[in-house]
Homo-oligomer: A and B are copies of this chain.
Amino acid sequence: MSSNSFGKLFTVTTFGESHGPAIGCVIDGCPPGLAIATEEFRRDLDRRATGRSRHTSQRHEADEVEILSGVYEGRTTGTPIALLIRNTDPRSKDYGDIAQTFRPGHADYTYWQKYGIRDPRGGGRASARETTMRVAAAVVAKKWLAERHGVRVRGHLAQLGDIVPRGFDWEAVEANPFFWPDAGQVAELERAMDALRKCGDSVGARVNAVAEGVPPGWGEPVYGKLDGDLAAGMMSINAVKGVEIGAGFAAVSQRGTQHRDQMHLDGFTSNHAGGILGGISTGQPVSVSVAFKPTSSILVPGDSVNLAGEGVQVVTKGRHDPCVGIRATPIVEAMLALVLMDHALRHRAQCGDVGPMAPRIA
Residue of B with least CB distance to A202: B256
Contact (Cβ within 8 A) A357 B113: yes
Once the chains are docked, how many angstroms separate the CA of A140 from the CA of B225? 24
Question: Which residue in B68, B293, B349 is a CB contact (below 8 Å) of A21?
Answer: B68
Which residues of A in the span 276-296 have a Cβ within 8 Å of any Cβ on B? 276-283, 291-296
Least distance between A88 CB and chain B CB atoms (Å): 14
Query: Which B residues lie within 8 Å of A72 (CB)?
Result: 17, 117-119, 121, 124
How far in angstroms is the closest Cβ of chain B from A54? 19
Measured in the bound complex, the distance between the Cα atoms of B276 and A240 in whole Å is 11
A204: B residues at CB distance < 8 A: 251-254, 259
A244: B residues at CB distance < 8 A: 241-242, 249, 291
> A11 near B: Cβ within 8 Å?
yes
Among B112, B222, B251, point to the contact of A125 (Cβ < 8 A). B222
Does A107 make an interface contact (CB < 8 A)? Answer: yes
Of B251, B300, B359, which one neighbours A257 at CB under 8 angstroms? B300
Interface flag for A176 (CB, 8 Å): no
- A:114-167 near B, CB below 8 Å: 114-119, 121, 124-126, 130, 159, 161-162
The residue on B at minimum CB distance from A265 is: B305
Q: Are A223 and B113 in contact (CB-based, < 8 A)?
A: no
A251 to B235, CA, bound (A): 14
Within 8 A of B (CB), among A189-238: 201-206, 215-225, 227-236, 238
* Contact across chains for B224 and A264 when beta carbons are under 8 A apart: no
Nearest CB of B to A129, in Å: 11
Chain A interface extent, by class: 35 or more
- Asked if A111 is at the interface (CB within 8 A of a chain B CB), the reply is yes
Q: How many copies does the complex hold?
A: 4
CA distance A11 to B358 in the complex (A): 30
Contact B224 A68 (CB under 8 A): no
Determine if B105 and A256 form an interchain contact, defined as CB atoms under 8 angstroms apart: yes
- Bound Cα distance from A207 to B342, whole angstroms: 30
Q: Mark A91-122, 1 if CB is under 8 A from B, else 0.
A: 00000000000101111011111111111010
Tell me if A351 and B257 are in contact (CB < 8 A).
Answer: no
State which of A23-31, A45-53, A56-64, A178-186 sits at the interface with chain B: A23-31
Residues of B within 8 A of A75 (CB): 117
- A302 within 8 A of partner (CB): yes
A359 touching B305, Cβ below 8 Å: yes
Q: Is the CB of A360 within 8 A of B113?
A: yes
Is the CB–CB distance between B117 and A82 below 8 Å?
A: no
- The closest CB in chain B to the CB of A303 belongs to B262
A187 interface contact, C-beta 8 A: no
Which residues does chain B contribute within 8 Å of A109, judged by CB atoms?
216, 263, 277, 282, 361
Alpha-carbon gap, A76 to B17, bound state (A): 12
Closest 9 CB pairs of A and B: A107-B278, A3-B224, A349-B349, A105-B260, A202-B256, A232-B232, A309-B359, A110-B280, A231-B235
